[in-house]
């Protein structure tokens, strides 16, 4: 059987996806295939991809189905023992990265998902997460799970084929954001661990497919992803506690940010924080109203 199926879900990243694909093509001492799923890109992504001789599969969708659904489409064509999800705005650094990740998985049979060090374009490291969205408000809600790591960033993750199949892949209710946390949680509920493997590092621009989407829309999507996670994994009372805590925290932050505004020391980053916290309050209030009206609570 082939070692690894590399799945790249692309959306409007024509200017950078070549670097991603080339970083896969330089891999040695491993058998792999490349499956690119394009989510109806509006730029020249398809034309660019057709010019790259990667001898893999290019699946051109007729609409943007979201990240998780795109991964699942690719998985249905995959033949590898391991599934490597790699973002189009990410690239491997060394020619043995996939080999080393596969070796790690082979030597850790209880690992259901692993990810390398992810270096953002700012030079900052994207660390693993040790709790799930909302957990730190009312205390740890999800106990008795395997391992210490809750979830890892989805820019580069490797999952055994059998594990991907056993949990049904990504939950397609998520369009974008929180889907990797959801997948990691379902894997841990199978008694498997999530691993962080810092000996391999990748570069990641981050958010490249959303550069044409207004900041407010992107932030709304983030909040909607978190709210969906809450609905799927917490009780109604727990959700209310989490969401009210988020509103209170956002209000406190806005209070101090307004002081900076009065003092005339409101930087660009602080202005962004104002927008972020206003959106948290706005979406959280709407979500609480939804809970009160008993709408959309089938999974609670």
Tens of pLDDT, residue by residue over 93-118, are 999 999 999 999 999 999 999 999 99
φ/ψ of 82, rounded to 5, equals: -120, 150
CA 175 to chain centre: 11
Q: Which two tokens stand for residue 109?
A: 């049979």
The CA-atom distances, in angstroms, between 181 and each of 26, 54, 68, 157, 269 are 30, 30, 11, 12, 27
Residue-wise DSSP of 77-108: T---SEEEEE-TTEEE-STTHHHHHHHHHHH-
Give the strand pairing for 82-86 and 90-92.
unpaired
pLDDT at 47 over 90: yes
Q: Reduced to 3 states, what is the DSSP secondary structure of residue 197? A: strand
As a whole number, mean pLDDT of residues 72-90 equals 97
pLDDT of residue 297: 47
Residue range 141-184, pLDDT digits in tens = 788 899 999 999 999 999 999 999 999 999 999 988 999 999 99
pLDDT at 208 over 60: no
pLDDT of residue 170: 97
Helices and strands (H and E) in the chain: how many:
9, 9
Give the pTM: 0.89
pLDDT of residue 300: 41
φ/ψ of 165, rounded to 5, equals: -65, -40
Distance CA 112, CA 183 (A): 10
User: 77: buried, middle or exposed (CB in 10 Å: 19+, 13-18, 0-12)?
Assistant: middle
Class of domain 4-210: alpha beta
CA 247 to chain centre: 24
Distance CA 172, CA 185 (A): 15
């Amino acid at each position: 059987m082939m070692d690894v199926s590399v799945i790249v879900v692309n959306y409007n990243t024509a200017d950078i996806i070549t670097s991603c694909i080339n970083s896969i093509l330089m891999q040695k001492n491993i058998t792999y295939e490349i499956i690119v799923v394009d989510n109806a890109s509006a730029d020249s992504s398809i034309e660019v991809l057709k010019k790259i001789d990667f001898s893999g599969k290019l699946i051109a969708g007729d609409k943007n189905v979201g990240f998780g659904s795109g991964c699942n489409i690719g998985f249905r064509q995959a033949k590898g023992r391991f599934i490597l999800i790699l973002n189009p705005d990410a690239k491997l650094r060394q020619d043995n990265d996939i080999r080393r990740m596969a070796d790690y998985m082979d030597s850790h049979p209880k690992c259901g998902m692993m990810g390398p060090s992810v270096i953002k374009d700012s030079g900052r490291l994207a660390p693993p997460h040790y709790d799930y969205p909302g957990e730190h408000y009312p205390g740890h809600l999800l106990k008795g799970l395997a391992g210490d790591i809750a979830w890892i960033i989805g820019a580069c993750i490797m999952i055994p084929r059998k594990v991907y199949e056993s949990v049904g892949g990504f939950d397609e209710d998520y369009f974008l954001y929180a889907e990797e946390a959801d997948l990691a949680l379902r894997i841990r509920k199978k008694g498997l661990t999530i691993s962080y493997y810092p000996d391999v590092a990748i570069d990641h621009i981050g958010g490249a497919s959303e550069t044409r989407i207004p900041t407010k829309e992107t932030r709304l999507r983030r909040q909607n992803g978190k709210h969906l996670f809450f609905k799927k994994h917490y009780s109604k009372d727990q959700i209310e506690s989490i969401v009210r805590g988020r509103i209170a925290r956002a209000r406190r932050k806005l209070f101090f940010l307004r002081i900076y505004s009065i003092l005339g020391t409101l930087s660009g980053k602080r202005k962004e924080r104002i927008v972020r916290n206003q959106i948290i309050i706005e979406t959280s209030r709407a979500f609480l109203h939804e809970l009160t009206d008993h709408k959309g609570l089938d999974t609670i």
